[in-house]
Structure formats: structure tokens, C-alpha cells
């Protein structure tokens, strides 16, 4: 059975990551309120659980580190130690080291215990400080719930004939050398099964830090009677209690039965509880999504081939459409992940950065339950890291400066997310000094990005756009945080590669807001098919505001550019065929022109030669060599087998803007 534990490595590291997050969140709470009992219990249990799992897996270094961390947290829990700034820093350092050791162990082999010489002695010093007075109970009460890790091990062992039991051993009141008796109990169990958990932990049993009883979670093929007879044979064991384990996780244990029928019989209830959630490799979901995409393409082709057929064929096609749509929705929902998975790591980062820069920052997160496609979630983390670091470093002023300006010494940074139509809006806001437009223009002139004459003609939005130019930075000095020329251009590139856009608004002295709009999913979308000459293109429908049919006489010229007056608003026009280097249809004076009004970072009208119609399309990547073609987001395969390019609205408008800039410079 011991050799089989290698199969549980993946489960162990997934569980450990969740408990690491609990440690970080709990310590952040304790730093603000050292008396927060819920947070104290949370961090203690998280360290205790990781230690127990690590010991089960045989990871000695992880066990040693979490054991010492648990000792310090036990002192805090018992009221012997208070979370001072010094202790808080040590606990955060210990959690960081734990994360490092877990990462190394997951990638290769566990480092030796000697590699912890930078942290273990200091933890030991605090653990030994102010020993707990006599009479204070430090042993965790016997837990009745299983961790998800334990439940998984037990569930997978059951088909092999194993059963799990909570075994409580009561020693005689006059027993001496209790640790020896505990050791003998473990020796008796050798070869009979596995001890998944000891309460109190093994280290405490060895040091006799327990009363007259202790409890074990045992996985064995032995019957309860045989197990009881085996352990009663140990001297000074007065009594043994054995209770079968109900297979449910701690979260499920707190959930009351929803219906009386769930109480029908143990096996039925156990089976129901053990299949509430399943961990699925993202690659399997990707493969399933690809198959759904192929199904959508095939369905579209069938609709084209069988259009106008008999009523029975039409009914069958409708049924196929319903099934394909339902399957698509189910897979899309399975891929959706709450942003909390990304957002949860930022409070610790902002806290550390604020301390490093001497800022006082209150960080608020809103809308972390908002969901995005897993492929977007995996990519959005780095841009948000940069924007948050930017907010703390460039945005929030030092406390003394804020007070001189009549502000609170503590600055505020807010990270929020919400749904906005078919998009998710993620905003990073601060109440700092805002963006100094004159400083931005001066830096852009200094770097040769614009001329002094061009600077005078730029609007506020155009000035903000300079921030996203490669190599641009207003940092006065190079630090680990900013000023290295790797900045908002990287953020913009990443967001645009995800089919999103980013906007900036700012008020001098009051703060700055970066708003990111991202599509809910990158797999299957609704698109408008358009014609430019002999070419067909797909335009994501989420970027289309409306379609207008204008006359050539309706077009006006503003600063050398065609525009359309639409309900009192001037909309710049882009001749899509000319921009993309293709053929365009000749237009008669007074003839009709189809105009697709789109909104990306800006609003504009795309002049096209014709409209094909709306289609559901599957986005295909163009591959590494064609991934960065401006204005192209990918490709799709139509039902008739034709390959059509998908346009990136922001990229197209950016190309048009660059083309206009070159014409202005040339003139």
C-alpha cells in the first residue's frame, strides 16, 4: 500500500496549494487584527493539515517545516504569543519557504531538511518562547471530518479491500512512558495497514504531549474485531474504540442532508457524497472543446447540404442543433473558472510591495466570483500583476506626501470584476496622484516617440495611448518594481492576444483607473461574416454595435479622413478592403455602402463590400509564426471547408490609425 502513495502526489500538491492560500489570507487578516480568532484557527489548521498530508506522503522536509510553523501558531492560538510585526514577517517568510519547498518537490525531488537552516532555528526560538503554562490545553480536539486528500485515498483503496477506521486508544491512568506505548501501537499496526492521521500528531506522541488517549485514522484490510484484539495486546492499553469512517470531506460534513431520501442507506449516501466534485486535467477539457468545435462545423455543413429537404430531415437537424448547443454550453461551463483563483494571490503581493516602497495601502477586491474561461484565466495573471505594482509604485504617494495634499495617509487600491454583456470588465483603480499628461508628453518627446508639434495636437486619450508604446516609462529611477522599459506595452499585447482591450482614465491628484475588457471565452463565438472584394472575413459579433447602409453622398471629410455623421456623432470610417491590401468593389456616385459600426478601444465604421450573415464559428490558432499578425485574431473553418480569417477589431483600428499618422507625417 505504501508504494501506491506515489499516485497521490498530484492530489497532495493540489490540496497543499489551497492550504497555502489559506495561510496567506489568514496571516494577512492577523496582521490587521492579531486577535481575530477565526483567522488564528484557520492558519493553524492549514499548517496542521499540510503537515499531516506531508507525513503521510513521506516528505520529511515539508513535515519538519510545517511542524515548526504549527508550533509557533499553537503558541499564538493558546494566547502565549501575540502576532507582532516581527512575528508576522517571520510567519510570512516561513510560508514563502514552504511554497518554495513544495514547488521544488513537485518538480523533482524534495530538498533536504538542512536546506531550511535559514528558517527552522528562528521558528524554533519563537516556538520555545514563553512555554505554555500548566493547565492550558494545546492539543487539538479530535477532528471528526476527513480532508479531501484522506477521502480520496480511502475511496481509491476501497476496491482493493481496504476499510478506514477511527481507532481511539485509552491508556491506563497509571501508565508510565506513554510515548513507548504509542510506539508499540504503531509497531503492531505495521504490515496490517496504513496510519493516515494521528491525533495529536506523531511528534507530540513521541514527546508525550498528550493525555491518557490518542486517536489514529487507520486504513486496513483487518476487521474491527481483529484490530481491537491486536491493539488490546499492547500493555497498559486499557480500552480500544473503533469506529468506521463515513466517507465525506470536511465541507460535506458541514452540509445538512437536503432530502430525507439521502439517508436511505450508507452505501448510497457514500457514493453520492464522493462524486460531488472531480479534478480534471485542463488538457482533457481542451480536447473535449476541440471535439465540440468540430461538431459545430459539421452541423453547419449539414444544414447547408440539407437545406430545403423534407420536414423529417429538418426536424432531425433541429434536434442535432439542440444537442450540439447543449453539449457546447456544458463544456463551456465546465471550462469557466472564478477569478478568485487569480485574485487570491494579490493581497499578499500588494502587502509586500507596499512595505518595500514605504507606502500605506488598503487593498480591496470585489467580484472575485466572476467567471472566465480557463484559457483566459491562465493568461491574465501577469498583466494584473503589472497593473497592481504600477498602482502602488506610480499611483499611491508616500504617507507624508498624501497628508500634505490633504489626503488620508493610507492609499486605496481596488481590484474589481463584473460582467458587461458578453465580456468581463476587470478594473484596477487607485486614489493616488493620477497621470501627469505633461510629464508623459515630455518623456515621449525625450525618447523621440513624438515631435513637439505633434504633442500639441494630442488629445487626453491619445496622450494616455503613449503609455502603451514599447519601452515607455516615466519612472525617475530603475528599481525592482519599475523603470526597466518592460511596461504597459507588454500588458496591452497580452490583453489584445486574448481578444480584449484596455482603457485608461485619470484625474490629476485623485487617481487612475485601468479598465480591461475580456471575452468570456476564446473557443466558440458568434461572428458576422463580411465580404471585401473576393475575400470573406469574420468579425466577432460582440464588437459589432450596428450595421448601416450609407450613401457615398453621406460621407464627409474631417482632417483628410472619411467620416459618417451618425445620429449627431462623427464616426471615422475605415475602408477595410484597402487597409488589408485586397480588392474592393467600385462604388458609383450616390451608391449604397455597407458600414459595420464597431467598438474596440475606439468607435469606428468599417466600410465593406457586402454582408454574408451571422455564423457560429470555432476559433483556430494561426500558430506560432503567424500569431502576431496585426489585425488578425485567428482563423475559422466554414461549413463548406473554406478557411476564413477572424479580424481583431482593436488591431484593425490600430492599423488604420498608424496609416493615418504616416500620411500626416508625409504631408
User: Alpha helices, DSSP H only, in 190-243?
Assistant: 202-206, 224-232
Q: Is 36 helix (H, G, I), strand (E, B) or coil?
A: coil
628 is catalytic: no
Would you state the cell numbers that stand for residue 160, as one nine-digit string?
482493493
Query: Are 538 and 615 in contact, with CB atoms under 8 Å apart?
Result: yes
Please give the torsion angle defined by the CA atoms of residues 17, 23, 25 and 31, in that order, rounded to the nearest 10 degrees: -160
Instruction: Report how far residue 124's alpha carbon sits from residue 44's, in angstroms, rounded to the nearest whole number.
Output: 16
Query: Are 146 and 247 in contact, with CB atoms under 8 Å apart?
Result: yes
Closest of 413, 459, 421 to residue 437, by C-alpha: 459
Query: Are 194 and 165 in contact, with CB atoms under 8 Å apart?
Result: no
In 205-356, DSSP assigns E strands to 213-220, 237-244, 336-338
422 is catalytic: no
Residues 6+ apart with CB under 8 A from 603: 545, 571, 597
- Selected catalytic residue, list 15, 22, 70, 429: 70
One-character DSSP codes across 576-593: HHHHTT-------TT-EE
Please give the torsion angle defined by the CA atoms of residues 202, 205, 210 and 211, in that order, rounded to the nearest 10 degrees: 120
The residue to which cell 486577535 is assigned: 35
Would you state the cell numbers that stand for residue 659, as one nine-digit string?
496609416
Give the rounded distance of the alpha carbon of 188 from its chain centre: 46
User: Using the 8-state DSSP alphabet, how is residue 508 labeled?
Assistant: T
- Selected catalytic residue, list 15, 31, 390, 496: 390
Strand partners, 427: 416, 515
The residue to which cell 455597407 is assigned: 594
- Selected catalytic residue, list 48, 67, 386, 423: 48
Q: Packing angle between helix 60-77 and helix 37-57, nearest 10 degrees? A: 160
Query: Are 495 and 383 in contact, with CB atoms under 8 Å apart?
Result: yes
Instruction: Report how far residue 4's alpha carbon sits from residue 56's, in angstroms, rounded to the nearest whole number.
Output: 12
Instruction: Report how far residue 63's alpha carbon sits from residue 640's, in angstroms, rounded to the nearest whole number.
Output: 60
542 is catalytic: no
Would you state the cell numbers that stand for residue 462, as one nine-digit string?
491619445
- Neighbouring CB atoms inside 10 A of 412's CB total 18
How many helices (H) and strands (E) are present in the chain, helices listed first? 23, 22
Q: Is 330 helix (H, G, I), strand (E, B) or coil?
A: helix
Which residues are tagged catalytic? Answer: 48, 70, 390
Amino acid at each position: 500500500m505504501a508504494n501506491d502513495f506515489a499516485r497521490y502526489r498530484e492530489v497532495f500538491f493540489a490540496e497543499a496549494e489551497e492550504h497555502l492560500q489559506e495561510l496567506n489570507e489568514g496571516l494577512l487578516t492577523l496582521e490587521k487584527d492579531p486577535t481575530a480568532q477565526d483567522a488564528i484557527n484557520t492558519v493553524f489548521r492549514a499548517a496542521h493539515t499540510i503537515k499531516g498530508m506531508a507525513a503521510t506522503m513521506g516528505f520529511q522536509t515539508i513535515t519538519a517545516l510545517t511542524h515548526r510553523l504549527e508550533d509557533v501558531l499553537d503558541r499564538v492560538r493558546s494566547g502565549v504569543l501575540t502576532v507582532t510585526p516581527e512575528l508576522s514577517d517571520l510567519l510570512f517568510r516561513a510560508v514563502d519557504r514552504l511554497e518554495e519547498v513544495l514547488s521544488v518537490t513537485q518538480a523533482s525531488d524534495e530538498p533536504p531538511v538542512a536546506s531550511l537552516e535559514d528558517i527552522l532555528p528562528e521558528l524554533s526560538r519563537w516556538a520555545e518562547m514563553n512555554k505554555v503554562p500548566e493547565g492550558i490545553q494545546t492539543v487539538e480536539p479530535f477532528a471528526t471530518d476527513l480532508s479531501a486528500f484522506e477521502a480520496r485515498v480511502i475511496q481509491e483503496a476501497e476496491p482493493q479491500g481496504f476499510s478506514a477506521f477511527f481507532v481511539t486508544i485509552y491508556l491506563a491512568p497509571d501508565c508510565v512512558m506513554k510515548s513507548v506505548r504509542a510506539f508499540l501501537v504503531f509497531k503492531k499496526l505495521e504490515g496490517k495497514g496504513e496510519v493516515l492521521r494521528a491525533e495529536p500528531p506523531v511528534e507530540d506522541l513521541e514527546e508525550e504531549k498528550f493525555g491518557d488517549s490518542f486517536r489514529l485514522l487507520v486504513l486496513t484490510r483487518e476487521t474491527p474485531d481483529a484490530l481491537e484484539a491486536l491493539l488490546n495486546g499492547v500493555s497498559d492499553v486499557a480500552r480500544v474504540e473503533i469506529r468506521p469512517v463515513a466517507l465525506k470531506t470536511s465541507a460535506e460534513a458541514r452540509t445538512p442532508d437536503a432530502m430525507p431520501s439521502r439517508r436511505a442507506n450508507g452505501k448510497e449516501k457514500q457514493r453520492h457524497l464522493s462524486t460531488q466534485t472531480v479534478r480534471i486535467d485542463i488538457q482533457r477539457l481542451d480536447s473535449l472543446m476541440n471535439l465540440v468545435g468540430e461538431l459545430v462545423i459539421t452541423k453547419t455543413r449539414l444544414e447547408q447540404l440539407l437545406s430545403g429537404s423534407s420536414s423529417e430531415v429538418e426536424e432531425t437537424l433541429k434536434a442535432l442543433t439542440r444537442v450540439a448547443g447543449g453539449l457546447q454550453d456544458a463544456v463551456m461551463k465546465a471550462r469557466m473558472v472564478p477569478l478568485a483563483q487569480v485574485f487570491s494571490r494579490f493581497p499578499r503581493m500588494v502587502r509586500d510591495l507596499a512595505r518595500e516602497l514605504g507606502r500605506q495601502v488598503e487593498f480591496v477586491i470585489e467580484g472575485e466570483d466572476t467567471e472566465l474561461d480557463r484559457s483566459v484565466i491562465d493568461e491574465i495573471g501577469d498583466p494584473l500583476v503589472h497593473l497592481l505594482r504600477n498602482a502602488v509604485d506610480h499611483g499611491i504617494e508616500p504617507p507624508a506626501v498624501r497628508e500634505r495634499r490633504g489626503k488620508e495617509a493610507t492609499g486605496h487600491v481596488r481590484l474589481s470584476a463584473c460582467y458587461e454583456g458578453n465580456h468581463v470588465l476587470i478594473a484596477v483603480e487607485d486614489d493616488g496622484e493620477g497621470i501627469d499628461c505633461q510629464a508623459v508628453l515630455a518623456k515621449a518627446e525625450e525618447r523621440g516617440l513624438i515631435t513637439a508639434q505633434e504633442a500639441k495636437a494630442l488629445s487626453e486619450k491619445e496622450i494616455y495611448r503613449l503609455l502603451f508604446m514599447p519601452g515607455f516609462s516615466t519612472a525617475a529611477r530603475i528599481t525592482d518594481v519599475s523603470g526597466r522599459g518592460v511596461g504597459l506595452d507588454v500588458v496591452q499585447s497580452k490583453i489584445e492576444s486574448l481578444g480584449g482591450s484596455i482603457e485608461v482614465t485619470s484625474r490629476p491628484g485623485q487617481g487612475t483607473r485601468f479598465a480591461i475588457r475580456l471575452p468570456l471565452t476564446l473557443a466558440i463565438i458568434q461572428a458576422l461574416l463580411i465580404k471585401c472584394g473576393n475575400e470573406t472575413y469574420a468579425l466577432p459579433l460582440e464588437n459589432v454595435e450596428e450595421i448601416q447602409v450609407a450613401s457615398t453622398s453621406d460621407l464627409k471629410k474631417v482632417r483628410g479622413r472619411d467620416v459618417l455623421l451618425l445620429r449627431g456623432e462623427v464616426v471615422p470610417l475605415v475602408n477595410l478592403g484597402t487597409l488589408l491590401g485586397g480588392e474592393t468593389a467600385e462604388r458609383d456616385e450616390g451608391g449604397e455602402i455597407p458600414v459595420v459600426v464597431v467598438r474596440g478601444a475606439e468607435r469606428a465604421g468599417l466600410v465593406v463590400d457586402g454582408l454574408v450573415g451571422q455564423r457560429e464559428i470555432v476559433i483556430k490558432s494561426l500558430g506560432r509564426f503567424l500569431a502576431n499578425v496585426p489585425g488578425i485574431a485567428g482563423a475559422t473553418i466554414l461549413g463548406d471547408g473554406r478557411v476564413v480569417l477572424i479580424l481583431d477589431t482593436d488591431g484593425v483600428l490600430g492599423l488604420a490609425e498608424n496609416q493615418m499618422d504616416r500620411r500626416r507625417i508625409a504631408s
